[in-house]
Every structure is written in C-alpha cells, then in structure tokens.
Structure 1
Amino acid sequence: MESKNIVVTGASRGIGFELVKLLSEHDHHVLAITRNKDSMIKLQKTHKNITVLEMEITQKKDLKAFKDFLFSLWKKVDVVIHNAGALIHKPFFKTSLEDFIEVYKVNVFAVAELTKIILPLMKKGGHVVAISSMGGIQGSRKFAGLSAYSSSKGAVITLFELLAEEYASIGINFNVLALGAVQTEMLANAFPGFKASVTPSDMAKYILDFSLEQGHLFNGKVIEVSNSTP
C-alpha cells in the first residue's frame, strides 16, 4: 500500500497509542496529536515516521500552531482519525453546565475545528473518521451517568452525516465508528471493576483497516463496532 499522511488525535494511550504504532509499522507517516508527549518518546525511538505534536485541541493558540505545522511541513493529509475523547461520569443532576461544555469542547467542537483546518489539504479519496460510542446510538443500551459523554457522541455522528453531504462532490468521505466497550484506561477510571472483552490493540487493528481500506465503501455512515450493546 502506498504510504499515506495520517493524523491521529488522542495518541498517548489506549486505542490511539496502539493505532499510531500500527500505522507506523505499515510505513505510513503519522502525526500523533497528544496532550502528553512523554509516553510517545520511547515509541518514536523504535518506530519510524511518527511526528508527535503536543497540544490542547480545544485551545485556539494550539489549533493555530497545528495549522501552521500542517501547511508548512506536511501540505497533504490523506486520512484523519479523531480518536481523542473526554468522559465525565456523574449522575445527571450533578453534571454541571461546565461539565457539559468541557466534554463537548473535546468530543464535538475540537473535532469540527481540526477538520476545518485539515480539509484544504485533503483531496479526492480522503477519509475522515470519528471515533464515537454505542452510547451515541439511538436505541442502544446506555451507561447511566454519561449524559454529557453519550450525547456528545451522538452529536458528532450527526455532524459527520452533514459533512459527508457537504463534501460529497469533492470526494472526501466522512464516517463514524461507534465503539462498544474497550478495556482502556478511560473506561477503567470511569467504571472501576468493569472488564471489557476487547483490547485497545484489537480495536486499533480494526480502525486501521476501516480507515485505510474501507473508506471508499462508506460515506456519512455509522458503523457499530461492538460485541455488546453498552
């Protein structure tokens, strides 16, 4: 497969970390966006083609630095994988307006802003993938206490349906993967004692294949990737 330029957010741990590693092993050039680059330093030493950009994706100054980097050094993006996510686990009546805003800033607003920056560097055949959740799927079983998180994951699904229509004539595809429970650090922190049967490495393999091999088959779609309903 021809080497591609791929942007991955939320790269420092869990699915994002495994995904960056796999993409590099497949000889793709990866821009790994993370809030903490320390965990990526060792990976950079053993895996080629990884560029780490430490930034806060909700901050205007960091978004500007990201844009400057892309337009001056990369100048082309083939695939974007919006993997970064924020989760707050609280009963609804204890979930403040500030909690909702913080979750939506990461899970929806930053996805929109990053996509807006990247799109001028994408051409026909480009693929933008958002990692959502089964919690954002209508009719699926929901985890109690995730009113902000799950509603934000539903919002990003609708956003990508709209972008798929808006950019269909250009040939850039937008799709969403709604994941079931994966045994990540974020899940463990939110639900101590809960054990998922899917590992970050397993899910990273699926996301890689979908993002690189199947993007041309779908546009504006939500693919449910779950062996359970949560």
Structure 2
Amino acid sequence: MTTQTWFITGASRGIGRELARAALAAGHRVAATSRRSSDITAALGEHANLLPLDLDVTNPAQIRAAVEVAKARFEGIDVLVNNAGYGYLGLFEETNADDARAQFDTNVFGLFDVTRAVLPVMRAQRRGHIFNVSSIGGIAGFASATLYCASKFAVEGFSASLADEVRDLGIHVTVVGPGFIRTDFLDPTSVRFADSAIEDYAALSQQLREYYEQKSHQQSGDPARLAAAFLELAAAPNPPQRFSAGSDALEVTDQRLTQLQQDRQAWAALSSSVDGQWA
C-alpha cells in the first residue's frame, strides 16, 4: 500500500471524521481541519500521523496557512477532500439573499479557495486526487433545498470542468454524491432552516420540515462504509469522475437520467430546429 497524505476539511464529525479515522487506520497521514482544531483532537484523539488544523473555509488567509503547514509537515498533499459544508433548507421564496450568499460562501466559494490553495502543491508533484463532496442534491432538485441544491449543482459543474483542466498533470478529480448518510447533517446543530414564513407555502413547508426532522439520524447510509469507499477510490488507477454513494443516490441518479432522456426524446425535433446556416 502506498502511504498518502490526506487533507480533509470538515473533519471533526460526520463523513469527514469517519474518513479521517479510516485513513489513519490504513496508515495514511492526515491533515484534518475544522473551525476549531480542538474538535479534531476530541473526535480522533492523538495520533502521530494526525495534524489537526484550524480552518474556516470562508477565510482565505486561514486556508493558505493551513495548506502551507500541512505541506511542510508531510512534504506534500496527495488527496484533498473538500467535505466542509452545511445544508440550508427552506422554500426559495422564504429564503433571502444573505441566506444564499452564506450557503455559497461555504459550499462553493470555500471549496474553490481550498482547491486553489492545494492545486499548486499537486501540480508540482504531478500527482494528486481531489474529492469534492456533493450530494444527491447536486444531480436532482428537491423542494425546500433550492439553495443547497444550487450550491451542489455548482460543485458538480466545477468538478467536471476542473477534471478536464488538470488531467494531463496527473491529477484526478472525483465528485462524490452521497444520498442520505447517517450523520448530523439534518441535526439542529448542523442544518439551517429558513425563518420567513409565507402562508401560501405553509402546508408544504411544514410537511417537508417534518420529513427531514424524522429522517435525522435514521438515514440508511453508513458513514464508515462511505469512508471505506473513499479509500478504495483513492487507490484506484482510473477513478470515476462521479461516484454515487448509497442505494438511494443510485435511485435518484437513475430517475434523473430517465427524466433527461425522456425530455431529450420528446423535444429532439425542436432542439434540432435551432440549428441553421450562417447568413
């Protein structure tokens, strides 16, 4: 087994914590980040190959500092996992511009900034693997998750484009789209709900909120099994550009592909009619 250096954001709980634990158990070196590095130590304990780092992904200066410390300590970074993020749930008209900016600052622009800081390290090495954690909400939309899904669709488009840019430099990019994983994602300590209520949406909003609250900590996906999947993907010589994590993620992906194919076939003639000769 080749020993790798992993840089994992959002590693104090949930998927990030399980991944850091699995990577350490497999003998890898791990730079694990959280807003408070003490939370990393509390979650994972002391380990010779563990480097806990303070990192708020909305703070570019802190990102650059954390990457430099990790590079100096471990002499490079082989695997980047952009895992930090949160879910904002609420029907679009019940959200506001500040909610949208905050969601994108963490889930999209924070991910961009961490990737931008790590890419020079990987380019110099002529090797690396970037994992961007998306969601089933990155391939299909869901009522009450408009802001969250918009942020994850952005991650999907970014990942597909970046993969084409860095492939010849020996760098792989894989976007991971989990389904419902048994973490704190839907817990009040993590998820955020819109505060503004509009009467026309009251019944739907309440129904959806109750659904997500009942789903919390009852999800079918096992974060430890997902962590094992990450390790297998990182060791693969030809990893996928997109990986759906969980049977529910496969189901949603299949539904989305079917919908796209049906729309394509139903409207193919009109689509082709847009073509024309140069004047």
TM-score (norm 2): 0.75
Say whether residues 1:200 and 2:227 are aligned partners. no
User: Residue type of the partner of 1:222?
Assistant: R
Q: Please, which of 204, 225, 228 is the counterpart of residue 245 of structure 2?
A: 225
Say whether residues 1:133 and 2:135 are aligned partners. yes
CA drift of 1:82 comes to 0.9
Preserved contact between residue 4 and residue 78 of structure 2 (Cα < 8 Å)? yes
- Which residue of structure 2 lines up, in the alignment, with residue 153 of structure 1? 152
Residue range with higher mean Cα deviation, 95-104 or 61-70: 61-70
Aligned residues: 224
Deviations 1:44-68 (A, max 9, x none): 5354311110121111331232243
Relative contact order: is structure 1 or structure 2 higher (C-alpha 8 Å, sep ≥ 6)? Answer: 1
SS of match in other structure, 1:188:
coil
CA drift of 1:100 comes to 1.0
Cα 1:2–1:225 change in 2 (3 A) is same
Question: Structure 1, unaligned stretches of length 5 or more?
Answer: none
CA drift of 1:218 comes to 3.3
| Bigger share in helix | 2
- Which residue of structure 2 lines up, in the alignment, with residue 168 of structure 1? 167
State the distance in 1 between where 2:59 and 2:20 align: 23
User: Residue type of the partner of 1:82?
Assistant: N
Question: Structure 2, unaligned stretches of length 5 or more?
Answer: 192-211, 253-279
State the distance in 1 between where 2:245 and 2:47 align: 28
Residue range with higher mean Cα deviation, 4-13 or 64-73: 64-73
- Which residue of structure 1 lines up, in the alignment, with residue 85 of structure 2? 85
SS of match in other structure, 2:173:
strand
State the distance in 2 between where 1:44 and 1:205 align: 17
CA drift of 1:153 comes to 0.7
Greater Rg, structure 1 or structure 2?
2
Say whether residues 1:108 and 2:129 are aligned partners. no
Report runs of 4+ in structure 1 exceeding 3 Å deviation: 42-48, 70-75
State the distance in 2 between where 1:125 and 1:116 align: 15
- Say what the alpha-carbon RMSD is for the aligned residues: 1.8
SS of match in other structure, 1:106:
helix
Preserved contact between residue 24 and residue 48 of structure 1 (Cα < 8 Å)? no
TM-score (norm 1): 0.90
SS of match in other structure, 2:161:
helix
